[in-house]
Amino acid sequence: MSPTAALVHKDDGYNFAYLDEQTKRMIRRSLLKALSIPGYQVPFGGREMPLAYGWGTGGIQVTASVIGPDDVLKVIDQGADDTTNAVSIRRFFQTVCDVAVTESTAEATVVQTRHRVPETPLKEGQVLVYQVPQPEPLKKIEPRETETRKMHAYAEYGAMQVTLYEDVAHFGRIAKTYDYPAVINGRHLMSPSPIPKFDNPKMEMNPAIQLFGAGREKRIYAVPPYTSVRSLDFDDHPFEVQTWKGSCALCGSTTSYLDEVITDDRGSRMFVCSDTDFCNTRQAEAAAAKAAVDKVSGEEA
Amino acid sequence: MAYVAVKGGEQAILNTHKLISETRRGNPDLAELSLAQISEQFGLAVDRVMTEGSVYDRELAALALKQAQGDAIEAIFLLRAYRTTLPRVAVSEPIDTSKMAIRRRISATFKDIPGGQVLGPTYDYTHRLLDFALAAEGLERPQAELAAEPLDETVPRVIDLLNSEGLIEEEIDENDGEVFDLTREPTTFPARRDQRLQNLARGDEGFVLGLAYSTTRGYGGAHPFVGELRLGEVAVEIVPEELGFPITIADVTVTECQMINQFRGSADKPPQFTRGYGLTFGHNERKAMAMSLVDRAMRARELGEDVRYPAQDAEFVLSHTDNVEGNGFVTHFKLPHYVDFQAELQLVRQLRAEHEERRRKATGSEQAKEAAE
């Protein structure tokens, strides 16, 4: 995060990163409050963005408030850099602040994401910005904010535990597969956004700063670096993540989250990494290793 | 078949921008619409976009409509996104609608009123027969005749006449002049009336109309009377700090509705009529009336009435009026969700396998039982 005061982007009439400095200041204050109370939803004066609500306006406002001219931005949707909405958001930032962009998780200083945490572990100094459609984890249990605020205030999360128990009673297991509720820093119940539960453990004790922006609902929350993130479960039904029988058809990974791809109309399918950067990097490494082996064996012959 | 990862999203986006521009233009052999034409001849569409877009600028609203191919909600979205980037120069003084240059003004509560009933421009008494003559261009239109005398400069509001008898509750500024700004601060519950009215003014016309309708059909006990509905131009004044007195910066057209509603009274209060208020930019009586009904319905709690129906539930109403929010969220479901879907797919397959396993065991043991018998 670099200072961005009064930086006007040279190519158009908009302020650096679109938002005016007063708005950025307001959002940064909300972010600081959110980092101070991990998992607590801070109401903020969300602005109307030139992108539809529900399409990442919260994430964009957070990114616009923390990004500086020296930052390197990566934008992913479903783990991929080339999905249309990720492309659209990346283009937005290239237009309004002309920052360097990358597809490499390791090179990025700010990563804006929808529905995934990158497979490559994040480092200190990196910022992961989540787009959040519904910040309130209790919404499906109690739609009234006046009530859910009280439930958070008293840390009254029994209702959520009961909901998970109802799954166990009906299906024999917890049937929540994404947007899996977690308690942050032993205090606030938080929606991790609709990431698959596969990604919940990556949030735990992560060295990076994790920021969450919900534009339509006008809420910001955060998980500071090295903070506990406990996914709700039961002693006899412990939290577990998705696993696949096979591996990625492109890079052979057995540890990444896989997308199912239907390849014909006769039911053929294959599984590939959802994280395109992770998959491409592994493929390139494998190709390089193979080339090195070929070269060595060629020399020997 | 080999799998090729879907690439080229960027090129597709650039292409769709070109394609939508082509589609918007339609047949290039036909003359292109000018903003002035839209503003003049689709005036009510422009009014709606200005109201829900919260910017009083006919030219910008016309541009938004042109860019959105006439889609009101898309146009409202465009105008709102532009509005966010504008600086706040000043906060105006409250407009004084009793000093309105009236074009139309009616009351349903009294046959005659000081200042008179003024029918003005309205579709109310047109028979809704398609006017095929209008399909031809350049038709000569009849001109309305000018009245012999102009209207009074100040036309008192009907509702103020009831005020003098104490028959209607007084309008009280609860905030000491400080007005909440919905576009700068998040809504808080319970929301005060300034928040509620701002929300309704920007709210989707169709949704607010539907809610208002529901209050008159038993889902909220509305017994409304249109105290007054007026349309015309009012002056917008600001008080610059260096001057210390108000100066007029603009004239804007507004539609105002004062709805009178019944109230039985309570132990502390004698029976008295209550108010519902509606205001829109431009000419939009449907919206102003619907707004005033929903405003009144949402006052249930403060007036000690039971909150039993959707229109009375401020948290429900205020959270769902905004069509830019609603449109964004409902349509976001067309974005890729394949990561979540994969998670659900996996679970359903697993649950089905377990179900099948249980069924097999159950029939297996039953057969074994039968065999034993």
Q: Which residues contact A28 (CB under 8 A, 6 or more apart)?
A: A65, A66
Q: Is the pLDDT of residue A11 over 80?
A: no
Active site residue A273: yes
Contact B84 A259 (CB under 8 A): no
Mean pLDDT of A99-127: 97
Confidence of residue B93 (pLDDT cuts 50, 70, 90): very high
Q: Which two tokens stand for residue B5?
A: 């990862």
| Residue A229: per-residue pLDDT | 98
Contact A133 B186 (CB under 8 A): no
pLDDT (tens digit per residue) in B265-280? 777 778 889 999 999 9
The edge-to-edge listing of strands for the beta sheet with A182-184 is A188-190, A182-184, A229-231
Mean pLDDT of B68-75: 97
Confidence of residue B175 (pLDDT cuts 50, 70, 90): low
Lowest mean pLDDT among A83-87, A243-247, B85-89: B85-89
- Which of A48, A77, A178 is nearest residue B80 as measured by Cβ atoms? A48
| Residue A125: per-residue pLDDT | 96
pLDDT (tens digit per residue) in A118-133? 999 999 999 999 999 9
Q: Is the pLDDT of residue B161 over 90?
A: no
Q: Is the pLDDT of residue B298 over 60?
A: yes
3-state secondary structure B189-205: CCCCHHHHHHHHHHCCH
Q: Is the pLDDT of residue A178 over 50?
A: yes
Q: Which two tokens stand for residue B48?
A: 């709606």
Mutation site, B316, B339, B344, interface A, largest A CB count within 10 A: B339
User: Half-sphere exposure of B280 toward its Cβ, with a 13 Å CA cutoff?
Assistant: 32
Q: Which of A46, A59, A248, A298 is catalytic?
A: A248
| Residue A42: per-residue pLDDT | 98
Q: Which residues contact A207 (CB under 8 A, 6 or more apart)?
A: A122, A123, A124, A126, A225, A226
Mean pLDDT of A203-221: 97
Contact B3 A82 (CB under 8 A): no
So where are chain B's domains? 10-83, 97-123+146-321
Active site residue A45: no
Q: Which two tokens stand for residue A214?
A: 């919900």
Confidence of residue B4 (pLDDT cuts 50, 70, 90): very low
Confidence of residue A7 (pLDDT cuts 50, 70, 90): very low
Residues in chain B with CB shorter than 8 Å from the CB of A79 are 339
Contact B84 A47 (CB under 8 A): yes
Q: Is the pLDDT of residue B112 over 50?
A: yes
| Residue A12: per-residue pLDDT | 58
Confidence of residue A301 (pLDDT cuts 50, 70, 90): low
A-B contacts (CB, under 8 Å): 140
Q: Give the nearest chain B residue to A78 (CA atoms).
A: B339
Distances (CA, A) of A283 to A252, A276, A289, B120, B282: 9, 10, 10, 74, 61
Q: Which two tokens stand for residue B365?
A: 């043991």
- Which of B1, B332, B340 is nearest residue A178 as measured by Cβ atoms? B340
Exposed, middle or buried, B10 (CB in 10 Å: 0-12/13-18/19+)? middle
Confidence of residue A3 (pLDDT cuts 50, 70, 90): very low
| Residue B239: per-residue pLDDT | 94
SS3 B74: helix
SS3 A223: strand
Q: Which two tokens stand for residue A164?
A: 């998970």
| Residue A232: per-residue pLDDT | 97
| Residue B141: per-residue pLDDT | 81
Q: Is the pLDDT of residue B19 over 60?
A: yes
Distances (CA, A) of B305 to A4, A144, B260: 52, 20, 16
Active site residue A97: no
CA neighbor of A44 nearest in space, from B178, B179, B188, B190? B188
Q: Which two tokens stand for residue B1?
A: 């078949």
| Residue B271: per-residue pLDDT | 86
| Residue B132: per-residue pLDDT | 87
Give the helix, strand, coil percentages of chain A, each rounded to 5: 30, 20, 50
| Residue B284: per-residue pLDDT | 97
Lowest mean pLDDT among A241-245, B38-42, B150-154, B162-166: B162-166
Mean pLDDT of A71-93: 94
Q: Which residues contact B43 (CB under 8 A, 6 or more apart)?
A: B282, B283
Confidence of residue B2 (pLDDT cuts 50, 70, 90): very low
pLDDT (tens digit per residue) in A257-293? 999 998 888 888 899 999 999 999 999 999 999 998 8
Contact A270 B3 (CB under 8 A): yes
Residues in chain A with CB shorter than 8 Å from the CB of B337 are 78, 115, 194
Q: Which of A39, A46, A56, A79 is catalytic?
A: A39
Q: Is the pLDDT of residue A198 over 60?
A: yes
| Residue B373: per-residue pLDDT | 66
DSSP B143: P
Cα–Cα–Cα angle for B61, B66, B69, nearest 5°?
A: 120
User: Strands A229-231, A182-184: parallel, antiparallel or unpaired by DSSP?
Assistant: antiparallel
Active site residue A39: yes
The edge-to-edge listing of strands for the beta sheet with A72-77 is A42-43, A219-223, A209-214, A127-131, A110-114, A72-77, A100-101
Q: Which residues contact A14 (CB under 8 A, 6 or more apart)?
A: A96, B85
Would you identify the CATH topology of the domain A21-135+188-228? Rossmann fold (3.40.50)
Q: Give the nearest chain B residue to A146 (CA atoms).
A: B189
Q: Is the pLDDT of residue B143 over 60?
A: yes
Q: How many CB atoms lie within 10 A of CB B231?
A: 25
Residues in chain A with CB shorter than 8 Å from the CB of B328 are 52-55, 57, 216
